A and B are shown apart, each in its own frame.
Chain A
């Protein structure tokens, strides 16, 4: 009853062991599929890396207050008086000394030269208040010291330092008319903030003649309903026209456009490549069975059934596809995982992120490869099983 099973096993073993004698065919089927998987994993790892950076940014218990209608910090603005109204609004947590946990900030854009491109790029220079540090839970000074309030000093995020020229601690860098001393480097667990430069908000105001203006107020909210209370209070205030965001929501919204762009380009490309790979695999498998036509016919003449012959051929295709998929994944992993890149994000500034070739992506890549192997193997398998034994034996 399991005769066909043993037959399939025997035929498959024969097929697979003879693969090294057909290196060309095997290599062609495999490399087509490897290219497909590599591109698939590569493109999606870019999207997933960008999303990971954006979604790793922001905390649920931190609220972002922006001018009503602004979708980015850059476009928001209010004056010092309004910032003060927000600072003492209900719903905001107080620290041990009874002061509101608030940082009114400026989000400015300066030009820095990219290390790989050699051209100028928009880099975010953020002015913060003392609470700015603690409002980012995972903030850590990794090198040097923090900037001194009141001085033209700044600290740089790890990503910014890696991507742009002249941001080593101890160096000075000129933006327009002012020269800034880089005093240290910070980390925030790989979030967007690591793409930024931070300085004292008052120094930034004077450097760019911004008066007592701010662009965003960050506040830790008091309890689970804190943000709601803050939103209600600010909504009722005639002096303000603002939106209250959850910091986490804000950054995942910002991720959407760029990640969607990468995916809308990447997915159709992968599908098309997959179709191309199917044709390539079909050709390779047809060639493989054509080359062994007499061998297959002999086997069937000595009693191997057509179903096991078909199954063994299909299996060969799937095994080749699997090997190709693994190869493609390995290339994507070694070449791209952790590769640091930066792009202009919704904030109109450079966001530094690492390609993330996640296990999930690898699994999807392998599944895609297996599908190609199945589709590419099924017709040749039928052909192998239905070929006229006598005709095949007479061939050649």
Chain B
């Protein structure tokens, strides 16, 4: 009988208790993973590296106000700007599904500025060649079952057409992947020319500009120079990195994120208490046996080791399994709701580290105090405990 057998037998000495403790740990870390995934999705804190480099200029007064399309050439002329493009919120839904993101863009310009959009060359050419053509992020295409060649109607809640209708038709010419899993992952992109000509109002305006520096000017100076260019004009701009813009927008959901965090804290508190208590109790129950082990020649150090390893064995495998299951569940949910979570639902390194730290805290926090207290006693005192 080696040490591992000893640990293993000890772990299962009260199988019901062990199973229930493990199940509780399983449920809680599963939940922890789901909530972390949601928190990250709603905070838009992970929009990919490209979004840190690109600048987004919107109307200073309010997101709903439009900017003249003529700003494009003025931004392009500024020192330090490598490329500029624009987008507009189209605000449409497909059938009865919730509204999702579609932007009318100048195709080649937008693709050049967003290299993380990976589109098949053949599909790219087809899109450029079709006025009514659109390309769509894979998660959305999957959710709605769109395929290349389909003609899909989208109903815009903002833009009406010259003929009074708010239903716009597009030919799906391509399905792309966003290698950053960022802001573009679930968007429908279509031609600005088609949009501008057909819309009933607001002609010659765009929602925002996206630009990229050539590296000769620091980003914050570049932001200032864009905003300075349009200062005191009827439409002043506010420029920020795409990533900062996304986070500021996410802040607007405000307290929802806070609530998710509070739930997380409650969940963690509960598990710490419950499993901690049970595990500590199980250690206390065998103080007598520790005396026996010592009599047999086990050192305090090895008894300590045995107990700690048992504690870790109870928590870690199940905890890690739970996080893996949670990960799978997140992927599954994101798959069904591609338009809502185009960038997928996932947890970050921070979540994994936090999860592992919690597992260690639970196992060590509950096992260490009683075992340390027990090992301070001598053999006789240990054996005397019943």
The interface-forming segment of B26-34, B184-192, B297-305, B356-364 is B26-34
Across the interface, do B61 and A35 meet the contact criterion of CB distance under 8 Å? no
**B259 proximal to A (CB < 8 A):** yes
Task: Give chain B nearest CB distance to A45 CB in angstroms.
Answer: 10
The digit string for B19-50, where 1 denotes a CB below 8 A from any CB of A, is: 01101100110110011001000000000000
Nearest chain A CB to B223 CB, angstrom units: 16
CB of A117 within 8 A of chain B? yes
Q: Nearest Cβ distance between residue A50 and chain B, in whole angstroms? A: 10
Chain A residues with Cβ under 8 A from B156's Cβ?
69
- In the bound assembly, the distance between CA atoms of A24 and B64 in angstroms comes to 57
- Asked if residues B201 and A32 are in contact (CB atoms below 8 Å), the reply is no
Within 8 A of A (CB), among B234-274: 234, 236, 248, 251-256, 258-260, 262-263, 266-267, 269-271, 273-274
Q: A109 and B24 in contact (CB under 8 A), knowing A35-B266, A69-B155?
A: no
CB neighbours (8 Å) of B53 from chain A are none
Closest to B157 in A: A75
**Chain A interface: which of B158-166, B206-214, B308-316, B373-381?**
B158-166
Complex contacts, B266 vs chain A, CB 8 Å:
35, 38-39
Residue in A119, A209, A283 whose beta carbon sits within 8 Å of that of B251 in the complex: A119
Q: Which residue of A lies closest to B271 (CB)?
A: A276
**Cα separation A50 to B65 with both chains bound (whole Å):** 27
Please name the residue on chain A nearest to B285 by beta carbon.
Answer: A290
* B16 is an interface residue with CB less than 8 A from chain A: yes
Inter-chain contact B386/A343, CB cutoff 8 Å = no
Q: Hey, which chain A residues are within 8 Å of B23, CB to CB?
A: 279
Query: Distance (Å) between the CB of A288 and the closest chain B CB?
Result: 11
CB 8 Å contact bits of A33-57 with B (1 = contact, 0 = none):
0011011001100100000000000
A348:B64 contact, CB within 8 angstroms: yes
Task: Answer yes or no: B118 CB below 8 A from chain A CBs.
Answer: no
On whether A262 and B256 interact (CB within 8 A), knowing A36-B270, A74-B64, A286-B17, the answer reads: yes
Contact yes or no, A114 B254, CB < 8 A: yes
Given A257-B98, A273-B270: A110 and B62 within 8 A (CB)? Answer: yes
A141 in contact (CB, < 8 A): no
- With a cutoff of 8 Å between Cβ atoms, the chain A residues found around residue B155 in the complex are 69
Q: In the complex, what's the smallest C-beta–C-beta distance from A26 to chain B, in angstroms? A: 11
Asked whether B278 is an interface residue with its Cβ less than 8 Å from the other chain, the reply is yes
Contacts of B365 in A (CB 8 A): none
Neighbouring B residues of A74 by C-beta, 8 Å: 64
Q: Is A269 an interface residue (CB 8 A)?
A: yes
Complex alpha-carbon distance, A65 and B239, angstroms: 36
A28 and B262 contact, CB distance less than 8 A: no
A36–B166 Cα distance when bound, in Å, is 46
Please report which residues of chain A, range 111-148, place their CB below 8 angstroms from some CB of chain B when the two chains form the complex: 111, 114, 116-117, 119-122
Q: Is A303's CB within 8 Å of the partner chain B?
A: no
> Contacts of A388 on B, CB cut-off 8 Å?
none
Residues of A within 8 A of B236 (CB): 176-177
Interface size counted on chain A using CB atoms at 8 A: 62
A28 & B277 in contact (Cβ 8 Å cutoff): yes
Q: Are A344 and B263 closer than 8 Å at their CB atoms? A: no
Please state if A176 and B60 are interface contacts (CB–CB under 8 Å). Answer: yes
Q: Does B281 contact A (CB under 8 A)?
A: yes
Contacts of B63 in A (CB 8 A): 109, 122, 348
A13 at interface (Cβ–Cβ under 8 A)? no
CA distance A114 to B271 in the complex (A): 34
**Min CB gap A141→B, angstroms:** 27
Tell me the minimal C-beta distance from B259 to chain A in angstroms.
6
Chain B residues with Cβ below 8 Å from A68 are 166
Least CB distance, A360 to chain B, in whole angstroms: 19
Question: Which one of B17, B278, B386 contacts A28 once the chains associate, using CB atoms below 8 Å?
Answer: B278
Residues of B within 8 A of A252 (CB): none
B127, chain A: closest CB distance, angstroms: 27
Return the CB mask of A147-178 against B: 1 if under 8 Å, else 0: 00000000000000000000000000001110
B254 CB contact (under 8 Å) in A77, A284, A343, A348 = A343
Contact between chains at A280 and B61 (CB < 8 Å) = no
Q: How far is the CB of B92 from chain A (nearest CB, A)?
A: 10
Taken together as a complex, chains A and B put the C-alpha atoms of A46 and B155 apart, in Å, by 31
Task: Select from chain B the residue with minimum beta-carbon distance to A279.
Answer: B24
Contacts of A279 in B (CB 8 A): 20-21, 23-24, 27
Assuming A28-B278, A109-B63, is B17 touching A283 (CB within 8 A)?
yes
The verdict on A286 contacting B16 (CB below 8 Å), with A343-B254, A350-B252 known, is: yes
| Complexed CA–CA distance, A14 and B166 (Å) | 73
**Residues from chain B with Cβ under 8 Å of A35 in the complex:** 266-267, 269-270
List of B residues within 8 angstroms of A121 by Cβ:
251-252, 254
Q: Establish whether residues A275 and B27, one from each chain, have CB atoms under 8 Å apart when the complex forms.
A: yes
**A32 to chain B: which residues have CB within 8 Å?**
270, 273-274
Option from B28, B30, B61 in Cβ contact (under 8 Å) with A111 = B61
Contact assessment for A31 and B24 in the assembled complex, using a CB-CB cutoff below 8 Å: no
Say whether A109 contacts B62, CB under 8 Å: yes
| A263 to B: closest C-beta gap in Å | 12
> Contacts A35-B267, A46-B259, A109-B64 given: A75-B31 contact, CB under 8 Å?
no
Name A85-114 residues within 8 Å CB distance of B: 108-111, 114
| Complex interface: chain A residues within 8 A of B31 (CB) | 269, 272-273, 276
Distance between B163 CB and nearest chain A CB, rounded to angstroms: 11
- B256 to A, closest residue via Cβ: A343
A28 to B62, CA, bound (A): 51
Q: A-B pairs with the 10 shortest C-beta distances?
A: A176-B61, A341-B255, A35-B270, A279-B24, A280-B274, A276-B27, A69-B166, A344-B252, A109-B62, A28-B277
Task: Spell out A's residues near B (CB within 8 Å).
Answer: 24-25, 27-28, 31-32, 35-36, 38-39, 42-43, 46, 67-72, 74-75, 77, 108-111, 114, 116-117, 119-122, 175-177, 208-209, 241, 257, 262, 265, 269, 272-273, 275-277, 279-280, 282-284, 286-287, 341-344, 348, 350, 396
Name B residues whose Cβ lies closer than 8 Å to a Cβ of A: 16-17, 20-21, 23-24, 27-28, 30-31, 34-35, 38, 60-65, 91, 98, 155-158, 160, 164, 166, 201, 234, 236, 248, 251-256, 258-260, 262-263, 266-267, 269-271, 273-274, 277-278, 281, 386
* Given contact pairs A269-B263, A287-B281, A343-B253, a sample of 6 additional A-B residue pairs in the complex whose CB atoms are under 8 Å apart: A74-B64, A265-B260, A273-B270, A275-B27, A280-B24, A284-B277
